[in-house]
Amino acid sequence: MSMEEREGSPVVGILGGMGPSAGLDLASKLISETSAARDQEHVPFVLFSRPTRIEDRTAFLLGNATVNPGIEIARQIVAMEETGVTVAGMACNTAHAPPIFDDVIRRLTTNRTALKPLHLIQETTEFIQRHWPSVRRVGILGTPGTLRFRIYDEPLAAMGLEPVQPERAFIDGPLRDAVYHPRWGIKARAHPVSSRARQALVESIEHLLALGAEAVVLGCTELPLAVPEDAFDDRPLIDPARVLARALIRDSYPERLKPWRAGETPSP
């Protein structure tokens, strides 16, 4: 049975641009998590990658920028809804920090916009609880912004899970360098990543496991580029972008959602 895009039928929206590759990464996972035999069976989506007016999220959180990026994010979600989008997600961990995400929701509510973005962090913590019910201590890797603002802590705690953060020496050392180092960080060299970036992340994962983490969230879009495997020492590694992609399909065309299997990362 073909899945017609009629008036009022579901359309997925991806708010990208933070950075542009993160939006593409989420779109690519939306495609790879869809069960489709031909073009016409794929989930229809609209990707906005309009970063020029979205203030840097970490800069705002650290007080180095005064304009809340949520203002422009909310404006773009309103524009997305006008194209027919019925369910949306934001391809950025840091944009889910409460000072930004709550501002977005407040603006959309005031504007009477029905479209509200799914919550990447919320979806990820629910995913962990559903698929690994015995896991209690969850390690978090991410940018210094995500970790200092402890974006995952409250959603995890609300489910009775315990967040495990790297020590400060890792946050501002190998973990930061793995993403941001100007010569060998993933933002500078992504295809392929440098062996130093990979090594720095492996050390950070080992550090979290030594602290008692039973699973590790790769809480920054860049990280799965260097750590593509789905487990490390038999502990699951969780890619929030893949979780969000699956949540977007679940809320639009659930019959098209591929069965999820640990140990399998479908290629795009």
Binding site for its own copies (CB under 8 A): 2-5, 11, 17-21, 24, 27-28, 31, 38-42, 44-54, 56, 79, 82-84, 190-191, 267-268
> How far apart are CB 228 and its own copies at their closest, in Å?
11
Taking the least distance from each CB to its own copies, the nearer of 190 and 202 is 190
The two three-digit tokens of residue 119, written as one number: 């919550």
Nearer to its own copies, 160 or 182 (CB): 182
CB of 234 to its own copies, least distance (A): 25
Q: Which is nearer to its own copies, 11 or 61 (CB)?
A: 11
Cβ distance to its own copies smaller for residue 82 or 229: 82
Given the complex with its own copies, which of 186 and 215 has the nearer CB atom?
186
Is the C-alpha dihedral spanning 231, 234, 235, 236 positive or negative?
A: positive
Cα angle 141-147-153, degrees, rounded to a multiple of 5: 90
d(CA 208, CA 188): 25
- Beta strands 231-232 and 235-238 are antiparallel
Q: Which of 147, 150, 152 is nearest to 176 (CA)?
A: 147
Min separation Cβ 88 and its own copies, Å:
14
Residue 267 Cβ, how far from its own copies at the closest point, in Å? Answer: 4
Residues 6+ apart with CB under 8 A from 118: 87, 88, 89, 244, 247, 248, 251
Q: How far is the CB of 56 from its own copies (least distance, A)?
A: 7
